[in-house]
Chain A
Amino acid sequence: MTVQQSAPPQARRWRRLAIVALVPVLVLVGVVLVRASGESVDQSPHGASPLIGHRAPALRGRTLSGGEYTYRPGTVTVVNIWASWCSPCRSELPTLVRLGRQWAGHGVELATIDTRDGAVLASRFLRQTGATGLTAVRDPNGMLAVAWGVTGVPETFVVDAKGIVRAHWNGAVDPTWLSREVAAAQARTTS
């Protein structure tokens, strides 16, 4: 019968102490690695933007039709970000234009940002989709879209009359959702 020799008590104590000292270092390294890898910004269809509940970013610039547009609080405003090279935008825009016409005269404004797009292509796109009267602020470098925290196109924001962002949608907007959010923003204005 052999007796297995264990390390002396002094050595075991030191080993335990060293392990205890190393644990927080390893945990920290692990946490930093996890945070640094793979984590992406939330892109769920709605409610994801950190802008919700905060003042809307500035929206100012030259429009596709050659005018100047500056967003100012005072009316409920739907802000849509699109581009002519974006396929979902093509399917979404007619719906937006239809809703925009319904809202006209009811205290709701539709303003759009044409991001990272050529003026010629974008104007042709509006003609093709029957949206020639649309307010489309040009954003050739994408900086306006970034100011709105946009991750892709299309995206839609509902801003209440006080200039606070109330709702956000990623992708081709659901007209039922949009109508409901616009109505809710209007209700906030009147309450």
Chain B
Amino acid sequence: MRRAALLVLALLAAGLLVVTVMVGHRAPTDTERVQHLSGELRCPTCVSQTVAGSDTPVAEGMRAEVTRQVAAGRSDSQILSWFKQRYGESIVLLPTRHGLGPLLWAVPGGALAIGVGVILWRRRRGAGWRQETATEHALPNAWLAAVLALAVASGAAVPVVFSLRHHGGAADAASAAPTAATGAVTSSSPSPAAATDPVGTAFDLLKNGQPAAAEALVQGLADRPGKTGTLALLVLGLAQRAAQDPAATETLRRFVREHPNHPAAAQVRRLLRNS
């Protein structure tokens, strides 16, 4: 009976390990990283809310900044450090490797070591232990099982937590976290393909009523040659127009001037005539 229970625990641990490794090693998309990072940042003006789950102006600004930094290729730890420098350590929701992080590693390891130690110690006691009554063992065995289960569960949870922290993690895991709330960036980044393309993401932001964030994403891209620059210029002009920016007219005129045969040029000319 006891062997069967230990076998089940071992199989459970092995299963969790396999799942953890599979989840942790898949490269996250930019959308997933933005979702995850926004979920790790505390909304500084809210109570118990993450940046992902808040619609306050500061949270929206922070989401736009996370989106910009992810698009710029900065790592998760660089982005979180950037926010800590400005808002203090408490802006990050989960403990880091420098805070409580090491404890998260040490506790399951310690619990597992205790459990293994106890088993070995009891085995060494051999026959004397077997002669004791079943009543004497019922309770201790339950505690032992609880400690082992905690060790296995927390041991499996740690790599999942840290793989999400440092690599972005899977969409399923991210949606289980608080980031699943209705964050603007979360709701406005419908596909991974759009997220890897800042212009596409900006267009989605614009469609979702966030012209300011869209403008920020394409600001530096409008002068690029090729298709990216063309689309960035168009999105920039439309975003400026939506944000009542006086520069919108000149940006849209420039788009029409430089790309007179673009499929959107006719529509932009109409917009300019009506404004």
| Residues of chain B with a CB closer than 8 A to A149's CB | 85-87
Per-residue CB contact flags for chain B residues 43-65 toward chain A (1 = under 8 Å, else 0) read: 01111100000000110111011
Contact with A along B100-118 (1 / 0, CB 8 A): 1001100100110010001
User: Which one of B27-35, B168-176, B242-250, B252-260 is at the A interface?
Assistant: B242-250
Is the Cβ of B111 less than 8 Å from the Cβ of A7?
Answer: no
B95 at interface, CB cutoff 8 A: yes
Stretch at the interface among B3-11, B14-22, B142-150, B220-228: B142-150
Q: Does A187 contact B (CB under 8 A)?
A: no
Q: Are B245 and A119 in contact (CB under 8 A)?
A: yes
Number of A-B contacts (CB under 8 A): 145
Q: Is the CB of A22 within 8 A of B58?
A: no
Q: Is the CB of A39 within 8 A of B94?
A: no
A151: chain B residues within 8 A (beta carbon):
44-45, 58, 87
Most chain B CB within 10 A, of A39, A42, A62, A149, is at A149
In chain B, residues 133-157, which have Cβ atoms closer than 8 Å to a Cβ of chain A? 135-137, 139-140, 143-144, 146-147, 150, 154
The proximity string for A residues 146-174 relative to B, scoring 1 for CB distances below 8 Å and 0 otherwise, is: 11111110000000000000000000000
Given the interface pairs A10-B140, A32-B95, A40-B47, the reply to whether A140 lies near B211 with Cβ below 8 Å is yes
Asked if residues A37 and B48 are in contact (CB atoms below 8 Å), the reply is yes
Does A141 make an interface contact (CB < 8 A)? yes
Q: Can you list 5 contacts pairing A with B, beta carbon distance less than 8 Å? A: A14-B139, A18-B144, A39-B90, A116-B60, A146-B61
Give me the 5 closest cross-chain CB pairs, A-B, nearest first: A142-B61, A14-B140, A18-B143, A149-B86, A141-B212
